[in-house]
Structure 1
Amino acid sequence: MSDQLIGVTGATGQLGGRVARRLAALGVRQKLLVRDVARAPQLPGAEAGVAPFADGDACRAALAGLDTVLMVSASETPDRVAQHRTFIDAAAAAGVRHLVYISFFGAAPDATFTLARDHWATEQHIRAAGLPATFLRDNLYADFLPMLAGADRVIRGPAGDGRVAAVAQDDIADAAVAVLRDPGAHAGRTYDLTGPEALTLGEIAAIVGAEYHAETIEEAYASRASYGAPGWQVDAWVSTYTAIAAGELAGVTTDISDLTGRPATSVADLLA
């Protein structure tokens, strides 16, 4: 570990904010890379810089002088991969030495979960840019599981009896901090960050005080049509469940405990 200056994107959000607060508590120097410096958290040892992913010039200027950067993926939009590529190219041009990218479990060009394909494309561009990197492939966020239930306390989706090894955001943040503080030890590595067990949505529903209704794919699209969301977004929503049904989110690893030195948090413990 060195006295390097670490860049943190997404510091105004849930995951990036967790990482930034942990680094500050450890006395680590950091630069918060945000779209609006007025919204950046006020943390000891932290400065802020404007770095919208889609603005290559701004990103290059904000990234100058940074050794290691945490890249939290951009908000879900049709052009997210293009934004990521712009940011990655800026990081390479600015001389960033190590990029830690928050990816997704099972990222692949043919992943059932459509947004996991975006993460695969991003990983590939990082490799092509020649940046030393570490990929943290998170499973679904356990923190968001209660939000799957509707107002009637029913979780609906075409997940069948598939299982998901959902992971707590605090665990992801702790793992990210471990990598950021000693990036050289993790260069070229990909970590699959999961919870300690894989649960069905029926089991998750019982934990959050809800019920689970296994929809067909046709029912899933019909039940979400009323939101008026664009097709790509509805595809992403539905494919979250079909990826579970396909078994693509069921793998359980020890990567959280290996990186943090403590067991991953169970869904029951997190939501208790």
Structure 2
Amino acid sequence: MISSLVAVTGAGGAVGGRVAARLARTGVPVRLLGRNPSRLPRLPGAVAAPAAAYGDGEAMRRALDGAHTLFLVSAHESPDRVLEHTTAVDAALAAGVERIVYVSFLGAAPDATFTFARDHWHTEAHLRMTGARHTFLRDSWYLAAIPAMTGPDGTLRGPGGEGRVSAVSHEDIADAASAVLLDEGTVHDGATYDLTGPEAFTLAEAAEELSRCTGRTIRYVPETREEAYASRAHYGAPEWEVAGWVTSYEAIAAGELDTVSDAVPTLTGHPARGLATFLQENPESCRHLLPGA
């Protein structure tokens, strides 16, 4: 068991919360960070830091003072997300943090089709430039997103074409992240791990699996880019956000999210969950799709 303090950002969220709980169960000293401390989980041995937003460098520095390792969950999408990330990284290093484990995205690149994946690449580039010890966890689409993006009418729609996506579960991401964080050695320094499920499937295949799970017909409806923008217009979201939604599907069509990695089983010692297993373990994820819902 490691004895140095691990700071976990996004501890009130799906990834950070799971990682914090795993670390706390091992007895590792954990400090929980979030913009709203009242939303942070209560975990044995874990301490909540004062409120700290990524873009507030001074607040982040105070919240991270004395921490050895930072688990940095990417911020909510925004036009300023790269600046928020780099401010948080710089604050961590100013506070004396020695190692940063950053949750990135599969296929992060400056010219990635998925616009938000470009943010991750720029954050990675900044971290490399600092010379700090770092590890990148590039997760694929979340398996939970598959039923969540399917409408109550039983339609999963988007410009994903016939491309494939190697979606991964939050549980597997948390297990892999915890394994990296609990290793105080240097074996993970400079490493980039693609965290994926055990197979890459088309959205049409995902619809078939959802149909088996719910007992009703779920359809995948491919869209053109123009149709995708039009079908999402009613949300009234800003253009940059809609572009992120649409290009996430286009990245699938472009073959940028079909990588299948062995990182989850290698790091965790257990197989990665596939879509069928995820749906069996999380029946509530399909509740809005059940007949009569």
| TM-score greater than 0.5 by the shorter chain | yes
Secondary structure in structure 1 of the residue aligned to 2:194: strand
Of 262, 273, 277, the residue aligned with 1:265 is: 273
Q: CA deviation at 1:121?
A: 0.5
Q: For residues 206 and 147 of structure 1, what CA distance do their matches in structure 2 show?
A: 15
> What is the identity, as a one-letter code, of the residue corresponding to 2:196?
T
Aligned-residue CA RMSD in angstroms? 0.9
2:219 matched residue in structure 1: 211
1:90 matched residue in structure 2: 91
Moved more, 183-192 or 5-14: 183-192
Q: For residues 29 and 207 of structure 2, what CA distance do their matches in structure 1 show?
A: 41
Secondary structure in structure 2 of the residue aligned to 1:196: coil
> What is the identity, as a one-letter code, of the residue corresponding to 1:89?
D
Q: CA deviation at 1:95?
A: 1.2
Task: Note if contact 2:82-2:119 (Cα within 8 Å) is conserved in structure 1.
Answer: yes
1:220 matched residue in structure 2: 228
Moved over 6 A (4+): none
Answering whether residue 197 of structure 2 is matched by residue 199 of structure 1, we say: no
Q: CA deviation at 1:2?
A: 2.6
> What is the identity, as a one-letter code, of the residue corresponding to 1:42?
R
- Gaps (5+ residues) in structure 2? 212-217, 281-293
Task: Note if contact 2:30-2:47 (Cα within 8 Å) is conserved in structure 1.
Answer: yes
Q: CA deviation at 1:35?
A: 1.3
2:17 matched residue in structure 1: 17
1:118-166 deviation digits (Å, cap 9, x = unpaired) = 0001001111122110000000000121011112110011111100000
Of 235, 238, 244, the residue aligned with 2:246 is: 238
Q: For residues 246 and 144 of structure 1, what CA distance do their matches in structure 2 show?
A: 19
Q: For residues 225 and 33 of structure 1, what CA distance do their matches in structure 2 show?
A: 34
1:243-271 deviation digits (Å, cap 9, x = unpaired) = 00000000101000010011101110011
1:4-58 deviation digits (Å, cap 9, x = unpaired) = 1100000001110000111111111100011122221110010011321011001
Q: For residues 164 and 273 of structure 2, what CA distance do their matches in structure 1 show?
A: 17
Answering whether residue 90 of structure 2 is matched by residue 75 of structure 1, we say: no
Answering whether residue 45 of structure 2 is matched by residue 37 of structure 1, we say: no
Q: CA deviation at 1:227?
A: 1.2
Q: CA deviation at 1:216?
A: 1.1
1:185 matched residue in structure 2: 187
Q: For residues 47 and 141 of structure 1, what CA distance do their matches in structure 2 show?
A: 28
1:154 matched residue in structure 2: 155
1:251 matched residue in structure 2: 259
Q: For residues 205 and 120 of structure 1, what CA distance do their matches in structure 2 show?
A: 31
Correspondences of 1:20-169 after superposition (within 5 Å): 20-49=20-49, 50-169=51-170
Identity of aligned residues (%): 57
Q: CA deviation at 1:170?
A: 0.1
Q: For residues 204 and 71 of structure 2, what CA distance do their matches in structure 1 show?
A: 35
Number of positions where the alignment pairs a residue of Structure 1 with one of Structure 2? 272
